[in-house]
Chains A and B, each alone.
Chain A
């Protein structure tokens, strides 16, 4: 009773807001519930869908294999499925603090090797599948994983360079970071897809997937570098002075004193940047790669299933939501654990 009075009916304005919202809330929820469940069609039958008033989940039921795995050979779908599970497993494993040890890198190398074998095949029992046929969820996850894996070391160098006392190095790093952050990701993807072939010597070609991956790495590195710079700035000056007093060289000081502390501070905002990057990989659709969103868009062009875009995009949003929400909860928990109070919002 006390809770109700304090939280819902503490004054006449508040009561009015509560009643109004409750009314709106009930109306919206019932309408949504009717659309999504009561009037929905679950069978993969386009004609039944067209007659019904509700959602057509039959579209998802029929197309889910294509949406999740793209044009990967149909009878081999267990391979990307297993690869997806492995990759998600690797991520979950790495989020546990207890496993933040040097051997985590070995676990990753082994895991990624397994995924590579599963996806490409070419070993006895697994026919070769070229990466032009990869698609769906696994492509989104792979672009994110490799994007972060390669961008991260680059971003460490950029962040250190930006804090360096050598003017030329600093200028180069500032120039790179600000240039990348000043332009939209699409322009980088365009650059990778149409200009990169011109930059390379004649006869040397890079496939479309790798070109997009390079653009994503260059993009992520600039944003991660800014987050790391924040972590570096939070290290008190005395830490530098003490390291110098011990007679450590620049690299010893950086590797053993500064970076470990800066990374620890930067983990929550780093996770938030990862989330933003995961969402941003959906832009590869624009240069014609078959990521999760792209397979849904293609599935929607099937003449039998035209007009069920809402269901398709809600499904896409739900998949992205599960990943992003889990990560953001995790990052919030880390914040309370490390005891750092973070002012400002997520950097995405």
Chain B
């Protein structure tokens, strides 16, 4: 009986709060003559977007299309950053366990410096470096043949096309805008430091005896790592790795601070233009919740698979 009363009270309070908020919001929207509903999505957006992968977009397209471009931009930068951060993080994590004193010290210094300052500071730092410290296209740095570093972006060759300087900028090849490059570098380097710690803890969680057993059957250190230690370490690593991948997706929303047109910055522009804050924030949250739930579903499936082995 008491249990029922508690639960009924909780539901009651939740409903009361919800009713109060909705009631106020409706009154406020009425007062300020703000339209509500999602019909604005069909209207012309009227702003340009700096970069768009796969989708063609112009200012005369709808808000819906603009948001789609933002979503694709979010997924693009997050997907590449997840791969880059995993590779870099795994390397740094293993370096931290290296027998070589210098290597493990450098790796430890990297981890400590990176994870003890905010990602936003690091993004501003990289952005300044990429836009102010790099030379203009005419004096572009060329660390490798065909790779050009300029303050207007990073250019590199792809099969069948090579960047060529013409007029004020390069054409041909593949180009990364400074905003995209900043976000990619910032997210990868930051998350790699956290992933390195997960990898290290994962490898350390495998008992010493497993190494000894691997050596006893004649495996080399590298083989022991590959065939004995890593499969067991993966079990410990999967859940925290999943949350780091989620963090990459969520942290990519810092794009709004450096002007990369991700879903948040485009929704933000839409909010400023239409005044429809509730719908805008709702779209942002719905998108991230969907991505978060999909990643955790995938990781749960993967985790179940790893555990079975």
Identify the A interface with B (CB < 8 A). Answer: 6-8, 10, 14, 17-18, 21-22, 25, 166-169, 172, 179, 181-187, 190-191, 194-195, 197-202, 275, 279-280, 282-283, 285-286, 293, 297, 307, 309-310, 313-314, 316-317, 320-321, 324-325, 328, 343-348
CA gap between A304 and B292 in the complex, in Å: 45
Chain B interface, >50% SS class: helix
In the complex, are the beta carbons of B198 and A344 less than 8 A apart? yes
For window 97-112 of B, CB contacts with A under 8 Å fall at 98-103, 106, 112
Counting CB contacts under 8 A, is B271 at the interface? yes
Identify the B interface with A (CB < 8 A). Answer: 3, 6-7, 10-11, 14, 21, 24-25, 27-29, 31, 98-103, 106, 112-113, 115-122, 124-125, 128-129, 132-133, 194, 197-198, 201, 205, 236, 239-240, 243, 250-251, 253-254, 256-257, 264, 268, 271, 277-278, 280-281, 284-285, 288-289, 292-293
In the complex, are the beta carbons of B254 and A279 less than 8 A apart? no
CA gap between A190 and B280 in the complex, in Å: 10
Most chain B CB neighbours (cut-off 10 Å) among A197, A320, A343: A343
B68, chain A: closest CB distance, angstroms:
18
CA gap between A114 and B10 in the complex, in Å: 37
In the complex, are the beta carbons of B121 and A320 less than 8 A apart? yes
Q: Which residue of A lies closest to B205 (CB)?
A: A343
B285 proximity list for chain A (CB < 8 A): 179, 182-183, 187
In the complex, are the beta carbons of A317 and B125 less than 8 A apart? yes
- Out of B11, B100, B118, name the residue touching A168 (CB < 8 Å): B11
CA gap between A347 and B257 in the complex, in Å: 23
What are 30 sample pairs from A and B whose C-beta atoms fall under 8 A apart? A7-B99, A8-B102, A17-B100, A21-B102, A25-B106, A168-B11, A172-B14, A182-B288, A182-B293, A183-B285, A184-B288, A191-B281, A201-B27, A202-B27, A286-B254, A293-B118, A293-B120, A297-B124, A310-B128, A310-B132, A313-B124, A316-B121, A320-B116, A320-B118, A320-B121, A325-B112, A325-B116, A344-B239, A345-B197, A345-B201
Given contacts A17-B102, A317-B117, contact A186 B254 (CB under 8 A): yes
A275 proximity list for chain B (CB < 8 A): 116
In the complex, are the beta carbons of A25 and B102 less than 8 A apart? yes
In the complex, are the beta carbons of A321 and B117 less than 8 A apart? yes
B292 proximity list for chain A (CB < 8 A): 181-183
Given contacts A169-B6, A186-B264, contact A345 B198 (CB under 8 A): yes
CA gap between A345 and B205 in the complex, in Å: 12
CA gap between A167 and B281 in the complex, in Å: 29
- Out of B101, B116, B254, name the residue touching A321 (CB < 8 Å): B116
B7 proximity list for chain A (CB < 8 A): 166-169
- Out of A166, A168, A182, A285, name the residue touching B289 (CB < 8 Å): A182
Most chain A CB neighbours (cut-off 10 Å) among B100, B112, B113: B100
In the complex, are the beta carbons of A198 and B121 less than 8 A apart? no
In the complex, are the beta carbons of A190 and B284 less than 8 A apart? yes
In the complex, are the beta carbons of B31 and A190 less than 8 A apart? no
CA gap between A14 and B122 in the complex, in Å: 32
In the complex, are the beta carbons of A194 and B129 less than 8 A apart? no
Most chain A CB neighbours (cut-off 10 Å) among B3, B117, B194: B117
Q: Which residue of B lies closest to A194 (CB)?
A: B277
A18 proximity list for chain B (CB < 8 A): 100, 102-103
In the complex, are the beta carbons of A313 and B121 less than 8 A apart? yes
B293 proximity list for chain A (CB < 8 A): 182
CA gap between A286 and B258 in the complex, in Å: 10
CA gap between A10 and B253 in the complex, in Å: 46
B277 proximity list for chain A (CB < 8 A): 190, 194-195, 198
CA gap between A113 and B124 in the complex, in Å: 35
Most chain B CB neighbours (cut-off 10 Å) among A8, A198, A283, A321: A198
A177, chain B: closest CB distance, angstroms:
12
In the complex, are the beta carbons of B101 and A8 less than 8 A apart? yes
Known: A190-B281, A297-B124, A321-B116. 7 other contacts (CB 8 A): A169-B6, A198-B28, A309-B128, A320-B118, A324-B117, A328-B112, A346-B194
B288 proximity list for chain A (CB < 8 A): 182-184, 187
In the complex, are the beta carbons of B197 and A346 less than 8 A apart? yes
CA gap between A34 and B264 in the complex, in Å: 40
A185 proximity list for chain B (CB < 8 A): 250
Q: Which residue of A lies closest to B247 (CB)?
A: A348
- Out of B10, B101, B118, name the residue touching A172 (CB < 8 Å): B10
A320 proximity list for chain B (CB < 8 A): 116-118, 121
CA gap between A316 and B124 in the complex, in Å: 11
Q: Which residue of A lies closest to B112 (CB)?
A: A325
B236 proximity list for chain A (CB < 8 A): 343-344
A6 proximity list for chain B (CB < 8 A): 99
In the complex, are the beta carbons of B124 and A198 less than 8 A apart? no
CA gap between A158 and B285 in the complex, in Å: 21
In the complex, are the beta carbons of A199 and B198 less than 8 A apart? no
B268 proximity list for chain A (CB < 8 A): 190
Q: Which residue of B lies closest to A226 (CB)?
A: B243
CA gap between A179 and B289 in the complex, in Å: 7
CA gap between A199 and B20 in the complex, in Å: 8
In the complex, are the beta carbons of A309 and B124 less than 8 A apart? yes
Q: Which residue of B lies closest to A284 (CB)?
A: B120
In the complex, are the beta carbons of B24 and A166 less than 8 A apart? no
Q: Which residue of B lies closest to A286 (CB)?
A: B257
A195 proximity list for chain B (CB < 8 A): 277-278, 281
